[in-house]
Structure 1
């Protein structure tokens, strides 16, 4: 079946490529703009910014193939007109249709999907041919001249040539001769207002205008923005960027120019007469805060309650519901300070971050008592005190055949009248699984219920003041959270209790930091006997070995579905493991091979690992930084690192209290062995904005968690796995590694991971984009209790165990989110024999489809 689908797909693609004539829809006497190249000094330019200057751009292509143009050409033009002509030629058919449809409905059929739908669809996702237009070509040449002029090439010579050697096609070339660039010979300034001239001189160290540097209009624009920001952050309330002009003088100079910065006085009207006056610097004389504004209009605010707190005046239309300090802590506009755009922006960000108010309105009014003073008025629109959120999802996994999960949460704002927020939520899942024991024969034999609560304080909640370390300009907050979940008939029927106490702050607008003072996770397994019903591959391996080695017949039962003997869960499984590892003479075939012995031992180790109860008491610090300006920025990089340490505090308490230990000598709390490890992670992401809206996205990730002291292994929840929609997309989640082991378990994990990803993203048609990707990496065990060589990281020798997956994907960009599907192929599989690792699994039968939301990195 899959081979047939492959053949059909290849046939359709071949038909599309062969049958389409790119000039099919080009009118007679016109020419398709097939190419438009820019040649700078007789060399083809790769500068994408230069191509943006062109009024006419050739039809888009994917790796050189004009897919959208060919799709457009496939559509039959004027299908409705052909339909009308067909009705005219076939009067009996027309009469038959009108016998049960009205004339209006029959005419509408011509525009329906049945008749015109496919054509309209193809035209919609396709792209009409770009027809050469001489007027646009001349305008493009003028714009190119201006583009290079702004880069300092004042003597540009240019022309264009159109090649019409192919029928109905035009190949356009723009020839640009740049000449020598001009450089800045001297700089000077002329500023009429003394206070601005003084500010300008103080900020000269930050200027980007330098002598002997090539002239650039971009530098002038940047300098205009810098000067405006500098002035307005130091009291120049009335100043605007259009007051800055430049004098560019090249007279009598060869390839040199002088640049003068000119700033005139303030313009204003008095009795319809335009006048000028020097700029003044303004300071803040008063700050008024309206705490319960109800609309965008700032007038008609009826005050019923008011208070003064530390030079701030707070007003309310009802009773004041907030402690004054909780609001004034978010205000950076203070009495006596100079007017500042930066303080205005910080105030808006902080107030919005409280999640108690909508985005604030901040206005300034001249103080009638002081010609150099301003009154700041801040209008706050409270959000609803209570908000209910609900959601539901349908799920499928290797445990659940079908599941329905949902959650409901209530957000309560201003809980203690200090702009705190409190959230409490209930979540639950019901699902069905054929793999699990189901004596009652219920359809939904899996259930999970959980409750979560989170309290957020918009400040650092600490006994000692931290303003000098983390000032309020970093918008700090403190979060206390607690959660409990109970699973029934899923996995090992776990009870999971979590709690954390976290500090969050933003050192800059593009940087975030988080410190978990403590992060606690307590896991208790209630149904260990269900293990081999969940981890079927381990069970199947043991069952086959038990049959091969003639295990005790009392360990088996006859499966009524297959009428074959199978190990009894859990007595039969446990009996065979004991015989294989301790008493092989109890087996009918006692000469167990070393390889099979290791297999049984590995399964037992994994069983012990996944059924153990966990107590994790960790402290974590994470730091993220990005250079991305906004969501539309396609040329940026970001990095984040995380350090986590667990168990040290509990180890100290255990030693002080002489805590009881397990038989192996490990410390315990509540009869559960606590975990002790140190963990570090680093991730770097880089995006390049390439030519023609193509983006190259890359990612590097490295992480390691080393157990020590009270632990020999890292808890499952803190370990790493490989594969899946956000990792190596040629493998399913948990199905790659560790090392060259071949993923012998259902859920393969380890304590070390390296991942490298690259993806070329390109537009296709409409909201659809495509991607070609390559994912490399693996997981390994390192410095833990694992002894199996194929699992272990062995330094540089383990580089040949990097798995490589390649493939392509389709993305649908909805705007708010992206839905993607990726088809991955195992290009290099380290689990295979050394001579068979490359390209042996490049086929649809062994490919993997991963569905995801938004981009993987």
Structure 2
């Protein structure tokens, strides 16, 4: 295997060296075009000269063939394709990176000169001139463009020509906030932005039919000798009369159950100055109305319209939200137009069932199938409520392990959860939803129970109940607060083998003893990843989990010195973590993705150890992929010294991780990745069973588990199946060893991208 790898490396190097030698393919009498540069010769100091030069460089045509480390591989594989038998590798690489050659004969300098002069005049440098000159070498040629820049024309004054009312006053009020100021250089792009800004301002105050194309700028230089001009704004003569008046909404019709195939109106209910059509027996008007920010006698405003559409879409009961306006021309006069707003809401199917078959591969060689079923009922009580009932079953078997006793262990996982979501705030005191301009908070309630049985070890029953709220503050920020969160766990059917483990590890035993968790959770999320066209994308998620404070008021001290509630010992802790992500998008579907995670849990009061279900673990397909789930840490702890191979106690109350990944397209829906991960978990208070190997110290950098690998992803319209292969190059159990161990490659399967 090693010999084959070396041959592949040597072959790749030879291909790269060959890619340098494209000159032998250049036809006789031709020169390869290598690019152009622009020189600006100015009569005076140019403000933002670098920006002006960048604009001129964007106008240079054609673009030369791309280079990589001084080579032109795209051009090389183009030439190789011209051979009679180019071969499979050459055909494949040509399809991926091949480029047709750009020669000196393809360059038309006089056309570029005209474009450069035009760009200069558009930015106030009238009477500019451009010249060009080829710089030729043996088989290459470039162009040098020289542009003269006389002193630019600047604004002396900016005013609005007299217009008829009411639009004259509206435009004047908008121009009062202009960014076009005295002394600013003439610039067509700034004037275009000014027109769009005024159009946006007018739309917000009702000018439904206005368009930025109706605005016209005129420059008058007759009053000045020193390249100054007066700028006038007026309307084009052909501007329609209906575009010069604001529009008011006089009627709002809400079609709560709209079907384009059947538009029969069965009933109309008047509620809060809106007409709800076919609503009373499908979606009660009193619940639907708060989502609609449009009001009768309100002036048209596209932002209000978009806000209404977004809020209605967030309910979760509708697949389409369409707001249309109809002009009532018979009621329009010289100063006001009239609109009728129609809100068409097309509902989703009321009931849905989703099945998901899973193949699970976990730590300690556990693997097996899993099945999850989810039933959804939308608009349950005619108020947009959503009921989700889910059940899951998983069976895993341990195919092998470090000891004979570990082999053949099985794990059975059963789960049942009900979730009821109300698209409004349920609170004893009425909450004014006008405060939540972007989105109305949803109330989430859930009940769940999970049963985990591990043969030869234990059975764990866990029940959870939650009540809280979630809402979007704006397009990027989401808040979730769970003021009531209750978790109950019960460890049972423990085997003598497991009892012996607990007796030998007081930390682990203590983490299972506190069965009752009652607390508050808060989560803040900033998701800049929704702007898919941006080069730089950021994501931040911060969570806070506090338990035991309120319940401690009712706690009673037991014979062991701990406090309990309803005879159940409860946990007290504070846990905070942050997940930071950054994506740098470049090229075609190429991304450098980075992630940094940090978390800390502090037990206090009634707890000296974090509850087992709240502790951190590291390793696995969404963590440090060169290590299996729960197999990393804590600290420099090495589980190979433990004959029981207790992966379940490899947890801690501190977690740090960092990941970097380069993602690139391969072909069609297949994507590739190269990545590196680092991370570990620790305990802030040393576990005596680990001889302080698990304690967090200032030497934590050297205790990070590190690995790297490659991945293949099947990405079909956002649904991603992920296959990652990673090998460790630093095991914290061996702090001074940095060896890339390919023999210990770990395979990870996941759904979705890791970060």
Q: TM-score range by the shorter chain?
A: 0.7 to 0.9
Q: Quote the Cα distance in structure 2 between the aligned partners of 1:403 and 1:267.
A: 70
Q: SS in structure 1 opposite 2:613?
A: helix
Q: Is the 8 A contact 1:706 1:783 kept in 2?
A: no
Q: Quote the Cα distance in structure 2 between the aligned partners of 1:142 and 1:705.
A: 66
Q: Quote the Cα distance in structure 2 between the aligned partners of 1:808 and 1:257.
A: 62
State which of 196, 199, 203 in structure 1 corresponds to 2:167: 196
Q: SS in structure 2 opposite 1:238?
A: coil
After superposition, residues 602-613 of structure 1 pair within 5 angstroms as: 604-605=505-506, 607-608=508-509, 611-612=512-513
Q: Cα 1:218–1:605, aligned 2, differ >3 Å: closer, same or farther?
A: farther
Give, in angstroms, the shift of residue 228 of structure 1. Answer: 2.1
Q: Is the 8 A contact 1:680 1:705 kept in 2?
A: yes
Name the structure 2 match of 1:630: 531
Q: SS in structure 2 opposite 1:329?
A: helix
Give, in angstroms, the shift of residue 728 of structure 1. Answer: 4.1
Q: Deviations over 1:693-725 (max 9, x none)?
A: 865544443322211111112223333334444
Q: Is the 8 A contact 2:563 2:570 kept in 1?
A: yes
TM-score w.r.t. structure 1 length?
Answer: 0.73
Residue 224 (str. 1) matches residue 195 (str. 2): yes
State which of 200, 208, 213 in structure 2 corresponds to 1:237: 208
Name the structure 1 match of 2:684: 782
Name the structure 2 match of 1:510: 476
Q: Quote the Cα distance in structure 1 between the aligned partners of 2:661 and 2:113.
A: 35
Name the structure 1 match of 2:489: 523
Name the structure 2 match of 1:793: 696
Q: Cα 1:426–1:626, aligned 2, differ >3 Å: closer, same or farther?
A: closer
State which of 406, 417, 422 in structure 1 corresponds to 2:371: 406
Q: Quote the Cα distance in structure 2 between the aligned partners of 1:742 and 1:148.
A: 69
Residue 649 (str. 1) matches residue 546 (str. 2): no
Q: SS in structure 2 opposite 1:359?
A: strand
Q: Quote the Cα distance in structure 2 between the aligned partners of 1:24 and 1:766.
A: 33
Structure 1 portions without partners, runs of 5+: 83-115, 269-275, 531-568, 579-600
Residue 125 (str. 1) matches residue 91 (str. 2): no
Q: Is the 8 A contact 1:72 1:122 kept in 2?
A: no
Name the structure 1 match of 2:44: none
State which of 729, 752, 777 in structure 1 corresponds to 2:654: 752
Q: Quote the Cα distance in structure 1 between the aligned partners of 2:585 and 2:181.
A: 29
Name the structure 2 match of 1:267: 239
Q: Deviations over 1:643-671 (max 9, x none)?
A: 221111222222xxx3x6362x2233465
Q: Deviations over 1:137-172 (max 9, x none)?
A: 6566766666676667667765666666465xx454
Q: Deviations over 1:761-787 (max 9, x none)?
A: 566776666666555554332368779
Q: Cα 1:789–1:402, aligned 2, differ >3 Å: closer, same or farther?
A: closer
TM-score w.r.t. structure 2 length?
Answer: 0.82
Residue 713 (str. 1) matches residue 615 (str. 2): no
Q: Quote the Cα distance in structure 2 between the aligned partners of 1:46 and 1:732.
A: 54
Q: Quote the Cα distance in structure 1 between the aligned partners of 2:533 and 2:96.
A: 23
Does 815-824 or 489-498 show the bigger shift?
815-824
Give, in angstroms, the shift of residue 493 of structure 1. Answer: 2.9
Q: Is the 8 A contact 1:68 1:764 kept in 2?
A: no
State which of 431, 443, 446 in structure 1 corresponds to 2:396: 431
Residue 666 (str. 1) matches residue 666 (str. 2): no
Name the structure 2 match of 1:271: none
Determine which structure has the larger strand proportion and give its number: 2
Q: Deviations over 1:501-559 (max 9, x none)?
A: 121111112221111122233222334328xxxxxxxxxxxxxxxxxxxxxxxxxxxxx
Q: Is the 8 A contact 2:355 2:372 kept in 1?
A: yes
Q: Quote the Cα distance in structure 1 between the aligned partners of 2:118 and 2:700.
A: 55
Q: Is the 8 A contact 1:32 1:129 kept in 2?
A: no
Q: SS in structure 1 opposite 2:208?
A: coil
After superposition, residues 755-834 of structure 1 pair within 5 angstroms as: 755-759=657-661, 775-782=677-684, 789-794=692-697, 798-799=700-701, 801=703, 814-817=716-719, 831-833=733-735
Residue 460 (str. 1) matches residue 425 (str. 2): yes
Give, in angstroms, the shift of residue 174 of structure 1. Answer: 5.6
Name the structure 2 match of 1:91: none
Residue 312 (str. 1) matches residue 274 (str. 2): yes
Q: Is the 8 A contact 1:662 1:668 kept in 2?
A: no
Give, in angstroms, the shift of residue 259 of structure 1. Answer: 5.0
Q: SS in structure 2 opposite 1:480?
A: strand
Give, in angstroms, the shift of residue 289 of structure 1. Answer: 1.3
Q: Deviations over 1:294-351 (max 9, x none)?
A: 12x8xx83322121111111122x9732211122221111112111101111111111
Name the structure 2 match of 1:282: 247
Name the structure 2 match of 1:844: 742
Q: Cα 1:157–1:855, aligned 2, differ >3 Å: closer, same or farther?
A: farther
Structure 2 portions without partners, runs of 5+: 42-48, 641-645
Does 357-366 or 344-353 show the bigger shift?
357-366
After superposition, residues 90-129 of structure 1 pair within 5 angstroms as: 121-129=92-100
Q: Quote the Cα distance in structure 1 between the aligned partners of 2:153 and 2:637.
A: 63
Name the structure 1 match of 2:13: 14
Q: Cα 1:409–1:848, aligned 2, differ >3 Å: closer, same or farther?
A: closer
Say what the alpha-carbon RMSD is for the aligned residues: 4.5
Give, in angstroms, the shift of residue 398 of structure 1. Answer: 1.9
Q: SS in structure 2 opposite 1:343?
A: helix
Q: Cα 1:468–1:478, aligned 2, differ >3 Å: closer, same or farther?
A: closer
Q: Deviations over 1:376-434 (max 9, x none)?
A: 11112122111122221222122454322222222112111112111112222233323
Q: Cα 1:149–1:466, aligned 2, differ >3 Å: closer, same or farther?
A: farther
Q: Is the 8 A contact 1:24 1:73 kept in 2?
A: no
Give, in angstroms, the shift of residue 452 of structure 1. Answer: 1.8
Q: SS in structure 2 opposite 1:841?
A: coil
Give, in angstroms, the shift of residue 63 of structure 1. Answer: 5.9
Name the structure 2 match of 1:679: 575
Q: Cα 1:171–1:399, aligned 2, differ >3 Å: closer, same or farther?
A: farther
